[in-house]
Structure 1
């Protein structure tokens, strides 16, 4: 099929066959008959060489789950130029490494006046990259994509202003992995409010991803499962009547009810420890 396509292209346009793509804008491309794998192993190695971290010890996670960063943590001022260079390199790596997207976005919030603790956290992310050099994006041919979403929130988790943080992630059950992660600060009066807002933000992303998949020929005929660990949020969402306890929530977040009734998403309970 690929050969026939190339012949048709060469008959219609003046072009030269350079063979399969192997490198593009610093990314490596490995193509087989059944899949395409995109990675940035060479760039990650050059980054570690530049920083002298070839022999550093690896870690299994980019961040410490219980650790929170603040603007002024009293650990002293770090080099702003070095810190910006490191964070910029990490942001470029996210093109094929969605697993470091959250860590890179978090570190980017402290580009001005970074502290030694921020620099140490950035160093941990690099140690994580050292142990995951072979990671990348795999696109497998001939498998139907099933879009699945997850959402969660950290109520009042910001140490700087006590605002809440919402997160969501999406993946495909087809060997193709895609991760979209958002960090937003907002005021929430309760844990239920925070999760409800997080689920609404995830719904907007689900709608957009469904449109994109349809353009790619992967029409989502069933509702997209959106996993959530709050039973009260699920109960509020599935109740078509606007409850008096949700009147204080901005109206723009309530469209999740319409998306649920129209079969676009399906809010599913997922225990916190899972």
Structure 2
């Protein structure tokens, strides 16, 4: 999804047209490279016992199907001069002089964009001859993401998915809340009555996780609720319902991508030390912006226990720098020259000093070596670490439950809107 958001943001900022294609019965186009047999389908009467069918083409339900479809699509695009990205294999591109065309693929849904409209126009009938495609015209709906075009940019939301989710769980007429989670309530893994039907909770959290592809405001909530998937209890389900009540407040909320041609990358990272009452592990969060448009974010509980808040913050920096290393390579393939070093904003002076000053050995000897690759990237000039005040930390929304007023204030700074700003 980061690749999709980045490609859409780049196209909007550079004024490229976005098109969408849909492949009919995509998995039936794959060629099998091995012998595969299946039992006779119901209703087919054959003489003799133990007879089976040998497949000549792939079918839905085979483990090989998705791989074979990708191989068939990749070989077809490569035969037309396209190259698959080494950073994300769902992305293909063709570069010839000033001509740029990018193809993003997710199973049977395809996005086309670039500078060469003639190449895009010739690619559509080529793919139609190969696979039988539907030309859906301008990009409006992709993987549940709704693209709403405005004169000053586009709004990417999941309005329909949100409304369907509220309807499915009977929360259409519920009372609303101003924040995804109650900042006072602390959820424990073993407190409360076990749910008689845990699949209900798991289904809800799974759909909320998909919704966080555009709703970064619930990223922390989804991460927190996902910790209890194995043995969900009544307080956990109540907290998940609280998220639904928050979504009811504004189902049309999404991220706004402006047409401002600012392609500079910046990042914010934060952590909440020892916030998990069961494991005492910390939660990290980061946000990556292209200009003023969010393209990547994450809220995640750290894998190990941090002995200090400085260590927890340093691990948060490591996570966002790892994302920036990958993103810088992706942008290079998208012909975007990142203005280096990339600014990484952190509200911990100690974490900044640890990255810049190896003399801090006595305080950092227990930290794993892999965390210190932050220092390497700092010395190589990929990033520059800058300290900001806690009040200006945009990644705060990914590490803890906030009050309604502070939550709403941060969303405005994150360019999360129900309609584009005037």
| TM-score when normalising by structure 2 | 0.58
What residue is the counterpart of 1:23 in the other structure?
Answer: 141
Quick check: which has more Rg, 1 or 2? 2
2:193 pairs with 1:76: yes
2:369 pairs with 1:251: yes
Residues 178-211 of structure 1, C-alpha deviation per residue, up to 9 Å, x if partnerless?
A: 3233322412222222222222222212222222
Q: How far is the alpha carbon of 1:247 from its aligned partner?
A: 1.3
Instruction: Give the SS at the match of 1:179.
Output: strand
What residue is the counterpart of 1:178 in the other structure?
Answer: 296
Q: How far is the alpha carbon of 1:71 from its aligned partner?
A: 0.4
Residues 207-265 of structure 1, C-alpha deviation per residue, up to 9 Å, x if partnerless?
A: 22222222222221221221112212212221144522211211111111111111111
1:21–1:152 CA distance, 2 compared to 1 (3 A)? closer
Q: How far is the alpha carbon of 1:176 from its aligned partner?
A: 4.7
| Structure 1: distance between partners of 2:154 and 2:315 | 36
Q: How far is the alpha carbon of 1:166 from its aligned partner?
A: 2.6
Aligned residues: 273
Within a 5 Å distance, the mapping from 1:189-268 to structure 2 comes to 189-241=307-359, 243-268=361-386
Find 2:174's aligned residue among 41, 44, 56: 56
Find 1:128's aligned residue among 246, 263, 286: 246
| Structure 1: distance between partners of 2:204 and 2:263 | 35
What residue is the counterpart of 1:42 in the other structure?
Answer: 160
Residues 127-173 of structure 1, C-alpha deviation per residue, up to 9 Å, x if partnerless?
A: 12112311224444462222222222222222112233332222232
| Structure 1: distance between partners of 2:188 and 2:120 | 54
2:388 pairs with 1:270: yes
Structure 2 unpaired stretches of 5+: 1-15, 18-116, 393-422
Most deviating of 10-19 and 35-44: 10-19
| Structure 1: distance between partners of 2:385 and 2:210 | 33
Give the CA RMSD over aligned residues. Answer: 2.6
Most deviating of 106-115 and 131-140: 131-140
Instruction: Give the SS at the match of 1:152.
Output: strand
What residue is the counterpart of 2:405 in the other structure?
Answer: none
Preserved CA contact (<8 Å) 1:37 1:139:
yes
Instruction: Give the SS at the match of 2:288.
Output: strand
Preserved CA contact (<8 Å) 2:266 2:288:
yes
| Structure 1: distance between partners of 2:135 and 2:351 | 56
Higher strand proportion (structure 1 or 2): 2
| Structure 2: distance between partners of 1:231 and 1:265 | 16
Preserved CA contact (<8 Å) 2:285 2:297:
no
| TM-score when normalising by structure 1 | 0.87
Preserved CA contact (<8 Å) 2:288 2:294:
no
Preserved CA contact (<8 Å) 2:264 2:291:
yes
Find 1:87's aligned residue among 180, 205, 210: 205
